[in-house]
A and B are shown apart, each in its own frame.
Chain A
Amino acid sequence: MVGNRAARRIVVIVLMLAAALWVVPIVWMVSMALQPNDLLARTTSNVAWGLIPWPFTLDNLGFVLSSGLTPRWFLNSAIVALGMTSLVLVLSSMAGYAFARIPFPGRRLLYPLVLAGLVIPEQAIFIPLYTMFAEWGWHNGYFALIAPRLAVPIGVFLMTQFFRGIPDYIEEAATLDGAGRWTVFTRIMLPLSIPALSTLAILTFLYAWNDYLWPLVSASRPEMFTITLGLASLQTNFAQSEGLGRVMASGVLASLPVVLLFLLFQRQVVRGIAMGSGK
């Protein structure tokens, strides 16, 4: 046992070193966001390879928050992520409920057809989607950024699986009391499915916040950029070097909501990933 405990201690030390190595790039980004721009133009390794923000300044964060389009991008990301999340929740839970619990004619055919959509990735259809939305004049609008994700059947799959697991008698007791489908769904099924819904919500939110390819083609006007896309546009300006500190500050701010969300809802995120991959 003593040998075991010593071995465990070595493992923990190795893991802690590895974890430190793992977060160093993030620390570095934060540290650069907190150093003056003109210093960074000269050197990025002022103190301890630049890992310690000295001299320290909040100017970059202040600049990014007060000027330029970053606040607008932030707002766009929030609108898109929240809009997408709520719509996905509504559509997926309704469809999932029907597939799991309403014996309507054709569902045995329809459900596999819907699941078949899982094999069509966004990357395979973004060009036709682009031309369709162009014809409809949707680009550079919020709905254009939200819509493609509404069709992805992963949410329907998750919700159907979840609703199938709810025992029959709960619903049927309510039906006996004369409750209609809609009442059963909103009053009984939805409250029961909060774990699944929160999982789906977090996964969708993270996806929306981090999506890059579709906003890149759909939003061609900077005032419609999401923060993820806006950050990319700052990066490709590197050659012009408009201030490393400011670019890094944008990166820090862009990450803040998702990191906070993750730290607050770590359990749901983790379960969501496990569930979302069909475990």
Chain B
Amino acid sequence: MRRPHVLSILLALLLAAAPAFAQETTITLGRFFGACDTPGVSIADAVGEPCIIQAIVDAFDAADNGVRVETLPTDWGNYYDQIKASYAAGNAPSVHVMHSSAIPEFASLGALADLSEHLAAAGIDTSDWEATARDAVTYDGRVYGVPMDAHANLWHVNLELMAAAGLVDDDGAPILPSSPEEMLEHAAMVRDATGASYLAADFAEFPIGVRLVMALAWQQGAELFGDGVSNVNSPEAVRAVETIVALFDGGFADPRLNYADSQQAFLDGESAILVNGTWVVDFYGAQAANTNVALTDYYAADFPTLFDTPATWASNHLWAIPVTTQRDPEKFDAALELLAWINDQNLAWSRTGHLSVRTSVLESDAYAALPHRDEYAGTIEIARDVQPVVRYDAVQDVLNRELQAIWLTGKPIAQALADADAQVQDLLD
């Protein structure tokens, strides 16, 4: 009778002392990616961007580390508006996700905490980061974020349609064009054999078309903008746009598809190719396995080289800490701890289809064994980010508007690019 008694006293003491141990620090986390519709799954079981990131954060939250994370899931459409609004209102989240292209704007204004001196102490080995990712989070020689992935445009392929057109090689890989002319030939072959359109992409809503044009300009060795100079109205840019417009003119693609519709067209087997990012590889793989979906044989291919130099548009998702968080050392440390945890979970995040940014993960067998990963292994080599521009959002908006003017209203290419050039130059000045 005595022992249990003593034990219970001990237990009571422990419980009484527990609040002292449980001095929890609460940090807030801002992100996009959408809400996870199956909350509570483990990291290993999570599928898709929203659930994988939620599972990673939940695991950190549940761990016995004295930190509570309050996720502020913010929608895509107004993400940057609301992040900026929260900075301006003085209640920015303790830590938040952003794109590498937004680093110049935020960092140049001093909005982000300089993490250069803190990462090693937090257990984040920056030397393991892949070089382009390290550059992407660096501004003026200082590190302002922890990269989570590189995401690039791929050509998502419906192998069934391609096979019907005779565009699959003996290894089961799709035969993709190596020049604009060949692309039109392939497109005609697909149409003649299947009646499907050759290529679908969001040309009418989000800036996927802009990223396509940028990739095709890079493939010709030209930058659209950079170093304070707009080069939007270059012969290379004209060529890039003409390449795409030829698809529309031939009836091989529909410029009026938006993101949801282009994706649906691909899943419904109405288009052989879909140009979209790495973030949907696991989703399309799962859809192809679903017997109710027309797409059955799915392949994730590297963006083909239509000109001289291989290149595809890419960007990085990264985690940054606002300077305001730094004023509270406890929160700052907790935020760094969370970033270190996310950095450790790079392989899990790569399951979405994104490219890892850590050399150790990139070289691991587990990474190579991820579904479809071998099919677009070349993408990491050809991935390119835009030149750092403070007002990148606005620049991208200009390009998206003028390109839409070309393929949706028939505005002459030369005039649209000249107009875009003038506006982009204004934004760079």
Contact = CB atoms under 8 A, between A and B. Distances in A.
B90 A134 contact: yes
Contact of B89 (A134, A216, A240, A241): A134
A123 interface: no
A40 B387 CA distance: 41
Interface stretch (A108-116, A148-156, A217-225): A217-225
B263 to A, nearest CB: 8
Interface stretch (B69-77, B153-161, B245-253): B69-77
A237 B76 contact: yes
Given A237-B35, A240-B34, A240-B49, A221 B260 contact: no
Nearest to B40: A67
Contacts of B50: 240, 242
Nearest to A137: B90
Contacts of A242: 34-35, 37, 50
A12 to B, nearest CB: 40
Given A68-B35, A237-B34, A240-B33, A140 B89 contact: yes
A239 interface: yes
A238 B35 contact: no
Contact of A220 (B49, B73, B82, B293): B82
Q: Is the interface of B mostly helix, strand, loop or mixed?
A: loop
A4 interface: no
Contacts of A246: 37
B278 to A, nearest CB: 15
Contacts of A221: 28, 72, 86, 91
Nearest to B28: A221
B292 interface: yes
B49 A233 contact: no
A233 B91 CA distance: 19
Contacts of A243: 37
A158 B259 CA distance: 47
B369 interface: no
Q: Is the interface of A mostly helix, strand, loop or mixed?
A: helix
Nearest to A220: B86
Given A240-B33, A240-B49, A242-B37, A222 B74 contact: yes
A28 interface: no
B99 to A, nearest CB: 16
B18 interface: no
B85 interface: yes
Contacts of B76: 236-237, 239-240
Contacts of B260: 238-239, 241
A217 B39 contact: no
Contacts of A67: 39
Contacts of A240: 33-34, 49-50, 76
**Contact count band on B:** 20 to 34
**Contact count band on A:** 20 to 34
Given A42-B293, A240-B34, A233 B74 contact: yes
A139 B82 CA distance: 12
Nearest to B51: A242
A190 interface: no
Contacts of A37: 37
A262 interface: no
B374 to A, nearest CB: 27
Contacts, number: 72
A185 interface: no
B364 interface: no
Interface in B244-271: 259-260
A52 interface: no
B90 A220 contact: no
Nearest to B78: A236
A54 interface: no
Contacts of A94: none
Interface string B81-104: 011011011110000000000000
Contacts of A130: 85, 88
Nearest to B33: A240
A162 interface: no
B88 A134 contact: yes
Nearest to A217: B85
A137 B90 CA distance: 7
Nearest to A241: B260
Contacts of B77: 232-233, 235-237
Contacts of A233: 74-75, 77-78
B206 interface: yes
A170 B206 CA distance: 65
A67 B40 CA distance: 11
A220 B35 contact: no
A203 B33 CA distance: 37
Contacts of B34: 237, 240, 242
Contacts of B82: 220
A242 B34 CA distance: 8
B35 A139 contact: no
B89 to A, nearest CB: 4
Interface string B28-49: 1000011101010000000001
Identify the interface centre among B39, B76, B293: most chain A CB within 10 Å of its CB.
Answer: B76
A82 interface: no
Contacts of A237: 34-35, 75-77
A234 interface: yes
Given A139-B90, A240-B50, 13 more contacts: A42-B292, A130-B88, A134-B88, A137-B90, A139-B85, A220-B91, A222-B74, A223-B72, A232-B78, A237-B75, A237-B76, A239-B76, A246-B37
Interface of B: 28, 33-35, 37, 39, 49-50, 72-78, 82-83, 85-86, 88-91, 206, 259-260, 292-293
Interface of A: 37, 42, 67-68, 130-131, 133-134, 137, 139-140, 216-217, 220-223, 232-243, 246
5 contacts: A42-B292, A232-B78, A236-B77, A240-B76, A241-B260
